[in-house]
Chains A and B, each alone.
Chain A
Amino acid sequence: MSDKRPWTPDEMMTVAAARLLWDGCVCFVGIGLPSAAANLARLTHAPGIVLIYESGTIGTRPSVLPLSIGDGELAETATAVVPLPEIFAYWLQGGRVDVGFLGAAQIDRFANLNSTVIGDYARPKTRLPGAGGAPEIATHAKQTFVLLKQSPRSFVPKLDFRTSVGFLDGHGSRARSGAPGKGPQVVISDYGLLKPEPGSDELRLVARFEGVSVDAARKASGWPLKLADTVEVVAAPGDEELRVLRDLHERTRLAHSRPAPLPV
Chain B
Amino acid sequence: MALLSLADAIGEHVRDGQTLALEGFTHLIPFAAGHEIIRQGRRGLHLVRMTPDLVYDQMIGAGCARALTFSWGGNPGVGSLHRLRDAVENGWPQPLALREHSHAGMAAAYTAGASNLPFGMLRGYDGTDLARVNDAVRHVSCPYTGESLATVPALRPDVTILHAQQADREGNVLLRGIVGAQKEAALAARKLLVTVEEVGEKLAAPMNAIVLPHWLVTAIARVPGGAWPSYAQGYYARDNAFYLAWDEIARDRTAFTRWIEQHVRGTADHAAFLRSFPAAAPAVAS
- CB pair A165–B181 under 8 Å, yes or no, is no
The answer to the question of B184 belonging to the interface, with a C-beta cut-off of 8 Å to chain A, is: yes
- CB pair B102–A67 under 8 Å, yes or no, is no
Given contacts A89-B122, A130-B70, A163-B129, contact A259 B179 (CB under 8 A): no
Closest A residue to B24 by beta carbon equals A70
Pick the contact of A75 from B76, B128, B129, B233 — CB < 8 Å? B233
Q: How many A residues face the partner with a CB closer than 8 A?
A: 62
Report the tally of A-B residue pairs with Cβ distances under 8 A: 220
A residues near B225, Cβ cutoff 8 Å = 262-264
- CB pair B122–A136 under 8 Å, yes or no, is yes
Secondary structure dominating the interface of B = loop
B residues near A141, Cβ cutoff 8 Å = none
- CB pair A165–B178 under 8 Å, yes or no, is no
Bound complex: CA A253 to CA B227 (Å): 23
B residues near A93, Cβ cutoff 8 Å = 104, 122-124
B residues near A264, Cβ cutoff 8 Å = 224-225, 271, 274-275, 279
B residues near A140, Cβ cutoff 8 Å = 123
Given contacts A124-B88, A131-B71, A135-B125, contact A68 B76 (CB under 8 A): yes
Bound complex: CA A163 to CA B72 (Å): 12
- Hey, what's the 0/1 contact readout for B43-71 against A, CB within 8 Å counting as 1? 00000001100000000000000000011
- Hey, what's the 0/1 contact readout for A25-58 against B, CB within 8 Å counting as 1? 0000001100000000000000000000011110
B74 to chain A minimum Cβ distance, whole angstroms, is 3
- CB pair B72–A129 under 8 Å, yes or no, is yes
Given contacts A68-B76, A88-B104, A136-B102, contact A55 B180 (CB under 8 A): yes
Pick the contact of B102 from A71, A134, A177, A262 — CB < 8 Å? A134
Given contacts A121-B129, A261-B279, contact A256 B89 (CB under 8 A): no
Bound complex: CA A112 to CA B242 (Å): 34
B residues near A198, Cβ cutoff 8 Å = none
B209 to chain A minimum Cβ distance, whole angstroms, is 11
Bound complex: CA A76 to CA B237 (Å): 12
B residues near A116, Cβ cutoff 8 Å = 100, 129-130
Bound complex: CA A98 to CA B210 (Å): 29
The answer to the question of A214 belonging to the interface, with a C-beta cut-off of 8 Å to chain B, is: no
Bound complex: CA A85 to CA B122 (Å): 11
Q: How many B residues face the partner with a CB closer than 8 A?
A: 74
Bound complex: CA A140 to CA B122 (Å): 11
- CB pair B101–A131 under 8 Å, yes or no, is yes
Question: Which stretch, B13-21, B78-86, B249-257, B260-268, touches the partner chain A?
Answer: B78-86
Residues 227 to 282 of chain B near chain A (Cβ within 8 Å): 227-229, 231-233, 235-244, 271, 274-275, 277, 279-282
The answer to the question of A179 belonging to the interface, with a C-beta cut-off of 8 Å to chain B, is: yes
A172 to chain B minimum Cβ distance, whole angstroms, is 14
A264 to chain B minimum Cβ distance, whole angstroms, is 5
Secondary structure dominating the interface of A = loop
- CB pair A32–B77 under 8 Å, yes or no, is yes
- CB pair A135–B102 under 8 Å, yes or no, is yes
Residues 233 to 264 of chain A near chain B (Cβ within 8 Å): 255-264
The answer to the question of A193 belonging to the interface, with a C-beta cut-off of 8 Å to chain B, is: no
- CB pair A89–B107 under 8 Å, yes or no, is yes
Bound complex: CA A81 to CA B271 (Å): 31
- CB pair B241–A256 under 8 Å, yes or no, is yes
A residues near B178, Cβ cutoff 8 Å = 55-57, 70, 72, 74-75, 81
B residues near A56, Cβ cutoff 8 Å = 25, 178-180
B residues near A89, Cβ cutoff 8 Å = 104, 107-108, 122
- CB pair B73–A130 under 8 Å, yes or no, is yes
A128 to chain B minimum Cβ distance, whole angstroms, is 8
Bound complex: CA A263 to CA B210 (Å): 23
Given contacts A69-B26, A84-B107, A136-B104, contact A259 B281 (CB under 8 A): yes
